Structure 1
Amino acid sequence: MRALVITGPHRAEVQDVAPPTAAPGEVVVDVKRAGICGTDIELFTGEMAYYHSGHTTFPVRIGHEWMGVVSRIGDGVDASWLGARVTGDTMLGCGECRRCRSGLQHVCETRGELGIRDGRPGALAEQVAVPVTSLHRLPDTVDDAMSAMVEPGGNAYRSVEAANLRPGDRCLVLGPGTIGLLCGLFARAAGAEVHLLGRSERSLAFARTIGFDNVWTEETLPDLPWDAVIEASNAQHLPAKALELVEPGRRVVYVGLAGSASLIDTRELALKDVTAVGVLSASPGLAGTINAYAAGGVDPRPLIAATVSLEELPRILAEGRPDTAGPGPKFHVAIGR
């Protein structure tokens, strides 16, 4: 089958590789659509921290935002999964440790990460093998484009859930990339007044086109009380800024990751009686995201700038956004025939 393979820093190609098999408890999915995110870019450039920790080595087969149709099942898997439209969790816990047994498999010490850590080839391929326990069925009301946005949506869903917003609250989202914009969409669906803070005029202009009127830079941000601040950027200084801006007694949510350590003053955290929440993964938010998409409360499709073929992807990874792409931050790859 065809699969994207990153062979070294800044080197990727589509190769013919052996198709996966359905091991006991697993299924093989015919991938129809997959997304590209910032983690995938870091895996391509060699900047991903997992290379330094030894969790990931070249060659790498990426792809953790995906949807498809189950085509084969392994021993012990119910036959009702055959033909099902599905997406799946990225974080694959061992299933036996204390964290997994308490429902925290996404922070399992020995977890696999589909398309990110060694051992689990990703979904930028014609087929992918995954444990049946990681699957989520997709209703017909959630089309293929929306379905491949469930994983990033789950991160945003959890972030907004952690912000504990009430209707009429004022929420500030730092970083209008894919996750930040999705946070804005979920916060707006929760009845909050949403503001976005960004840096590039292109990203801020795009945010306006999808209905966000309150978009600012650090220089233009108004002096307002912020009931929740969601930090979704990769800027080293903004985690501290989020804590500075949030109202006492309210919540700051950290879902963005900078390339180097960010510092906050825990004295300010304590003296303001602020609750700070970190969000690692979409795992506990996947079902809620699917339901929100199905109900029509959140539509992630305007964020998709282009849908390209698997063969086009190595050039796009190397050269960046093509001139023909739309203004959104997300790229999708159509794989299934």
Structure 2
Amino acid sequence: MRAFVITGPRRSAVREVDPPVPGSGQVVVDVERAGVCGTDAEFFSGEMDYLRRGHARYPMRIGHEWCGTVSAVGDGVDRSWIGRRTTGDTMLGCGRCRRCLTGLQHVCEDRFEIGIRGGWPGALAEQLLVPVTALHALPDTVDAVAGALVEPGGNALRAVEGAALEPGARVLVLGPGTIGLLAARFAVALGAEVHVLGLSEPSLEFARALGVHGAWTGERLPSLAFDAVIDAATSPDLPARALDLVEPGKRVVYIGLAATPSTVDTRTMVLKDVTAVGVLSGSAGLAGAIEHYASGTVDPRPLVAATVGLDGVGGVLAGSRPTGSGPGPKIHVDPRL
């Protein structure tokens, strides 16, 4: 089958590789749609920290935002999965350690992350191998575009849940990328007053079109009392600013990752009696994201600017936008093209 492979920093190819064969407890999914995200771009550039820590190495096959149809199952898997549309969790814990046994498989020390950590091949390929325990069935009301946005949606939903928002609360989202805009949409659906902070007017105009109550550059941000701040950006300076902007006694949620270390003054956190929440994965939010998408309370599809085939992925990771792209931040891949 065809698969996109990163062979080294800023080097990639579409190669013919052996198709997956399901082992016990595993399924093979025919990939219908996959997303490209900032983590993938960091692996392509060579800046991803997992490369330095030994959690990943080249050549590697990326892709952790996906949906498709189960085409084969291994021993011990109910054959009724065959033909079902599905998406799945990225984080695959060992299933034996204390963290896994207490529902924290996404921070298992020995975890695989599909397309990211431990060499588990990702979804930028015609087929994907997945443990059946990681699957989430997709209802007919969630199409392929939305299905491949369940994984980032789970992250965004967890960020909003971490902010502990009540209807009418005012929240500021830092960063109008995919996670930030999805978090904004979930917060709007909850009944919050949502503001977004970004750098460029086109991205902020797009955020306004999605229904946020305010979208601002840093110098134009009004002096408002924010009940929560969600940092979904990649700037090393914004974690500290998030803490400065949030109201005393309220919450800051950190889900964005900078390429270099950021500094937060814990004296500010203590003196403001702020609760800080970190969000690593969408694992616990996947089912909720699917429910929101299926019911129509949140429509993630406008975020997708373009869809390319496997041959177009290298250019996207290098920073180019496909011809005719819309204003959204997300690029999708259809391996069948």
1:31 aligns with 2:39: no
Matched with 2:253 is 253
Q: Contact 1:36/1:331 (CA < 8 Å) preserved in 2?
A: yes
- CA–CA distance in 2 between the matches of 1:139 and 1:112? 27
* Structure 1 alignment gaps of length 5 or more: none
Q: How much has 1:213 moved relative to structure 2?
A: 4.3
Question: 2:328, 2:23 → 1: CA distance?
Answer: 38
Give the partner amino acid of 1:163: A
Tell me what 2:331 maps to: 331
**TM-aligned CA deviation for residue 336 of structure 1:** 3.9
Gaps in structure 2 of 5+ consecutive residues: none
Letter aligned with residue 27 of structure 1: V
Are residue 215 (structure 1) and residue 215 (structure 2) matched?
A: yes
Deviation string, structure 1 residues 228-277 (Cα, Å, up to 9, x no partner): 10000001111011111111111110000111111111111112111110
Deviations 1:60-83 (A, max 9, x none): 100000000000000011111111
Distance in 2 of aligned mates of 1:333 and 1:268: 43
Work out the CA distance in 1 between the residues paired with 2:238 and 2:279: 16
- Give the distance between the partners of 1:215 and 1:147, measured in 2 at CA: 27
Shift of 1:312: 1.9
1:2-61 deviation line (CA, Å, top 9, x unaligned)? 000111111111110000010101000000000000000011111111110011110010
Q: Which residue does the alignment assign to 2:94?
A: 94
Question: Aligned residue for 1:178?
Answer: 178
| Paired AA for residue 303 in structure 1 | L
What CA distance in whole angstroms lies between the structure 1 residues aligned with 2:323 and 2:208? 21
Q: Distance in 2 between matches of 1:312 and 1:322?
A: 8
User: SS at 2:43's partner residue?
Assistant: helix
Distance 2:257 2:188 in 1: 23
Q: Using the aligned pairs only, state the percent identity.
A: 64
Residue 314 of structure 1: how far off its partner (Å): 2.1
Cα drift, residue 122 of structure 1: 0.2
Equivalent residue, structure 1, for 2:203: 203
Instruction: Please report the TM-score for the alignment, with normalisation by the length of structure 1.
Output: 0.98
Q: TM-score, normalised by structure 2?
A: 0.98
Instruction: Kindly state the Cα deviation for residue 319 of structure 1 after the two structures are TM-superposed.
Output: 5.1
Check conservation: 1:112, 1:119, Cα contact below 8 A. Answer: yes
Asked if the contact 1:14–1:314 (Cα under 8 Å) also holds between the matched residues in 2, the reply is no
Q: Partner of 2:193 in structure 1?
A: 193
The residue aligned with 1:58 is: 58
Paired residues for 1:124-203 under 5 Å: 124-203=124-203
Q: Secondary structure at the match of 2:51?
A: helix
Does residue 77 (structure 1) correspond to residue 93 (structure 2)? The answer is no
CA RMSD of aligned residues (A): 1.0
Q: Which stretch of the first structure deviates more once superposed, 46-55 or 319-328? A: 319-328
Task: Out of 13-22 and 199-208, give the one that drifted further.
Answer: 199-208
Comparing 137-146 with 198-207, which one deviates more in the overlay? 198-207
Distance 1:332 1:119 in 2: 22
Stretch of structure 1 that moved more, 196-205 or 104-113: 196-205
Partners of 2:222 and 2:315 lie apart in 1 by 41
